[in-house]
Amino acid sequence: MSNISSVLEEKRLFPPAADFVGNARLDADSLAELKAAAQKDPSGFWAGLARRELAWQTPFTQVLDDSRAPNYAWFADGRTNASANCLDRHLGERGDKVAIRFEGEQGDTRNWTYRELHAEVCRLANGLKSLGVTKGDRVVIYMPHTPEAVIAMQACARIGALHSIVFGGFSAGALRDRIDDASARLVITADGGWRGGNIIELKKAVDEALSSGCKSIEKVVVFRRSGHEVAFDDSRDVWWHELVATQATACDPEWVEAEHPLFLLYTSGSTGKPKGIQHSTGGYLLGAHMTMQWVFDIRDDDVFWCTADVGWITGHTYVCYGPLSNGATILIYEGAPTVPDAGRFWKICQDQGVTIFYTAPTAIRALMKLGEQWPAKYDLSKLRLLGSVGEPINPEAWMWYHRVIGREKLPIVDTWWQTETGAVMMSPVPGATATKPGSCTQPLPGIFAEVVDEAGERVQGTEAGGYLVITQPWPSMLRTIWGDNERYIQTYWAQFKNRYYVAGDSTHRDADGYYWIMGRVDDVLNVSGHRLGTMEIESALVSHARVAEAAVVGRPHEVKGESVFAFVTCNGERPQGDEAEALIKELRAHVGKEIGALAKPDEIRFADNLPKTRSGKIMRRLLRSVAKGEQITQDVSTLENPGIVAQLQGKA
């Protein structure tokens, strides 16, 4: 990443503002106490919180079970339900409190109180039961970013069905693969969603996916959102509004074991096949619940806006489970940040009275580029806390966020975590931690991070760099990869003989014990905060008839963090001129179709062959240098055809 060197020069320190500290849930002393308690007895610390903070139908007596490590279990003999924790327990005190404030891209708004949300979730849960969905079944949710996506998640959780959300920007092919891997019984979708003034054809993609596989699917529930005409198969498809029309507004929660899987969420790894990350009910919920308090300092009068789509882990934990389990008010906005103009996000903050705003560096950089005049038009004085997630935030974007949106006084929480970790792992605690632009600072209470070298030895002392690992199990950690426990062990544990959880990020720890995340160590790109496996994009390219071989690397990009750069060899002659132009267009569209628009290569170059080592490995470091336009310093003398370097560079 281009910002590594600038990050390491970063010496600015921003202590928490006195007026924030005065009202904060945690100050430096109380944070130190929590950390000390966790240090003394990590699992006892978590157990105490789980008893105090979550509602259990059957209290647990077991805390951490490490007898099958690295498959850990937490609170295993307890029974709970995530939806009961998020909804039922607030009905008494907060029944009339707004749970969700919604704004559509077209300007439509609607609020849902906790009571209304509970009723709607129960109606859908009963509807799903009437279609035969039971505990343990997988339900794929492929929805626009509207409250109904949250309702669908909650309805699944309520009856003990596992939801597996597929981001609405993924293509029919990606949807099909995820449905098949999970052997899902049902899909919940919508006719269409709104994005950038266009209708996203969700139902059409479901039809396409189901026409080429997905034998496990029995029913498709369709929410009417866009209202445009869609194909409808009466024997298989069910309109959401018809399904729930006759259902009761109460539905007893299915009390599940704490280890019962709450959901699967597919994420990219360094191989072609996405991994179904499996999370538990009790442990996951505890992580989501506590981090809302520690990191976001959530209060009853907050309006919390996490801009992430429910299709990503951030949307799971900080749109749905974390805020609702704390009885908070969330804001959901369906559309793009620039519709109808570049001030939309700031107008929403003003009109909806947003107090906490949580977004991704790529969005901050994009909004920064659009100019300060946009936020200046709106009253952002209700904002009291800002957050960032998804990739390292460069100090320049951090300072802009701080100065222009944060009025030079709001705390910024730069939160490091992963789909696999379930909840934030490292972050400033806003009333307690002095921040440094570009650093996620330190681990939260009960989380134990380390920096290790190639051999797995702890890197001692200050200014340490190496692999980021987590040394103790924590409740919201992933439990396994769906259907492939061996891959779970190989991916996250085997590198250092099961001693630590290996995050796959490299990091640097400074003299103050602050962590600076440097990016991924595996072949995973971070494009606009979304993880994309290079192998996944390569397989998509190779599935095109003209492509013989492909190698994908990332190139630093001002707004997106990284952009996708593909080197391709073709069957037959290397295309040139107009033919090359046409094929590039076709390949971009092909990847869009296979995976989704977010994976489309920004640049494609053709060569007669790809540079390989003697053992036949593609020389990725060389390709990365070429993509960046750097001077080539690697030894290319062993290449069969050194002339291809010029081709790769686009010079021949």
**Residue closer to ligand WTA, measured from CB, 494 or 632:** 494
Interface residue with ligand WTA among 174, 313, 320, 478 (CB under 6 A) is 313
Give, as ranges, the residues between 433 and 492 that touch ligand WTA (CB under 6 A).
440
C-alpha pair distances (Å), 307 with each of 68, 413, 508 = 37, 15, 28
CB of 572 to ligand WTA, least distance (A): 38
Structure tokens at 161: 């069905």
**Residue count of the chain:** 652
| Closer to ligand WTA by Cβ: residue 237 or 536 | 536
User: Between residue 491 and residue 530, which ones bind ligand WTA under the rule CB under 6 A?
Assistant: 503-505, 517, 519-520, 526
Nearer to ligand WTA, 418 or 563 (CB): 418
Among 508, 509, 531, 555, binds ligand WTA (CB under 6 A): 531
Question: How many residues belong to the site for ligand WTA (CB under 6 A)?
Answer: 23
Among residues 418 and 647, whose Cβ is nearest to ligand WTA? Answer: 418
Choose, by CB under 6 A, the member of 43, 278, 418, 625 that binds ligand WTA.
Answer: 418
Q: Taking the complex as a whole, how short is the minimal distance between the CB of residue 364 and ligand WTA, in angstroms?
A: 12
The nearer residue to ligand WTA, 482 or 567, going by C-beta atoms, is: 482
342 binds ligand WTA (CB under 6 A): no
Pick from 415, 435, 480, 495: which binds ligand WTA (CB under 6 A)? 415
Q: How far is CA 641 from the centre of its chain?
A: 42
CB of 5 to ligand WTA, least distance (A): 16
Nearer to ligand WTA, 525 or 645 (CB): 525
Which residues neighbour 641 within 8 Å (Cβ) at sequence distance 6 or greater? 608, 609
Q: Taking the complex as a whole, how short is the minimal distance between the CB of residue 277 and ligand WTA, in angstroms? A: 8
**One-letter identity of residue 103:** E
The burial of 154, by beta-carbon neighbours within 10 Å (0-12 exposed, 13-18 middle, 19 or more buried), is given as buried
**DSSP E strand stretches across 521-602:** 524-527, 530-533, 547-557, 561-570
Least Å from the CB of residue 75 to ligand WTA: 24
- Which is closer to ligand WTA, CB of 555 or CB of 590? 555
> Quick one: 520 or 560, whose CB is closer to ligand WTA?
520
Who contacts 125 (Cβ-Cβ below 8 Å, separation ≥6)?
Answer: 83, 154, 155, 156, 158, 159, 251
Q: Cβ closer to ligand WTA: 452 or 517?
A: 517
Is 63 among the residues that bind ligand WTA (CB under 6 A)?
no
Distances (CA, A) of 439 to 8, 302, 308, 388, 544: 10, 26, 21, 11, 41
Q: Which two tokens stand for residue 90?
A: 């607030």
Distances in whole angstroms, Cα of residue 543 to Cα of each of 274, 549, 574, 620: 17, 10, 17, 21
Q: What is the DSSP letter of 494?
A: G
DSSP secondary structure string for all residues of 416-470: B--GGG-S--B---TTT--B-TT--BSBPTT--EEEE-TTSPBPPSSSEEEEEEE
332, 100 Cβ separation under 8 angstroms = yes
Nearer to ligand WTA, 126 or 267 (CB): 267
**Least distance in Å: CB of 511 to ligand WTA?**
20
Amino acid identity of residue 373, one-letter, is Q
Scanning 13-21, 86-94, 412-420, 447-455 for contacts with ligand WTA by CB under 6 A, the matching segment is: 412-420
CB of 73 to ligand WTA, least distance (A): 22
Cα–Cα distance measured from residue 499 to residue 476, given in angstroms and rounded to the nearest whole number: 18
Is residue 419 close enough to count as binding ligand WTA by CB under 6 A? Answer: yes
Phi, psi dihedral angles at 450 (to 5 degrees)? -150, 165
Rg (CA), the chain: 24
Contact flag: residue 223 with ligand WTA (CB under 6 A): no
Q: Which is nearer to ligand WTA, 47 or 389 (CB)?
A: 389
- 368-397 residues in contact with ligand WTA (CB under 6 A) are 389-392
When the beta carbons of 175 and 425 are compared against ligand WTA, the nearer one is 425
Reduced to 3 states (helix: H, G, I; strand: E, B; else coil), residue 537 is helix
**Given the rule CB under 6 A, which of 1-9, 172-180, 409-417, 584-592 is the region that contacts ligand WTA?**
409-417
Binding mask 239-268 for ligand WTA (x = CB under 6 A): ----------------------------x-
Question: Among 4-12, 153-161, 415-423, 593-601, which window interacts with ligand WTA (CB under 6 A)?
Answer: 415-423
**Cβ proximity to ligand WTA, 412 vs 648, nearer residue:** 412
Binning the chain into helix, strand and coil, the percentages to the nearest 5 are: 35, 25, 40
Binding region for ligand WTA (CB under 6 A) out of 8-16, 308-316, 609-617, 625-633:
308-316
Q: Cα(29)–Cα(360) distance, rounded to whole angstroms?
A: 30
Closest approach of ligand WTA to the CB of residue 554, in Å: 12
Q: Which of 170, 417, 514, 567 binds ligand WTA (CB under 6 A)?
A: 417
C-beta of 632: minimal distance to ligand WTA in Å? 27
Answer for which of 314, 329, 442, 539 binds ligand WTA (CB under 6 A) is: 314
Pairing relationship of beta strands 547-557 and 561-570 according to DSSP bridges:
antiparallel
Q: Which is nearer to ligand WTA, 3 or 85 (CB)?
A: 3
Amino acid letter, residue 145: H
Pairwise CA distance, residues 423 & 474, whole Å: 10
Minimum CB separation of residue 294 from ligand WTA in Å reads 15
- CB of 303: closest distance to ligand WTA in angstroms? 22
Q: Which residues of 492-520 are buried (b: 16+ CB within 10 A; e: fewer)?
A: bbebbeeebbbbbbbbbbbeeebbbbbbb
DSSP 599-649: G--SEEEE-SS--B-TTS-B-HHHHHHHHHTPPP-S--TT-S-TTHHHHHT
With respect to ligand WTA, which residue has the nearer C-beta, 138 or 508?
Answer: 508
SS3 119: helix
* Binding region for ligand WTA (CB under 6 A): 267, 312-314, 389-392, 414-419, 440, 503-505, 517, 519-520, 526, 531
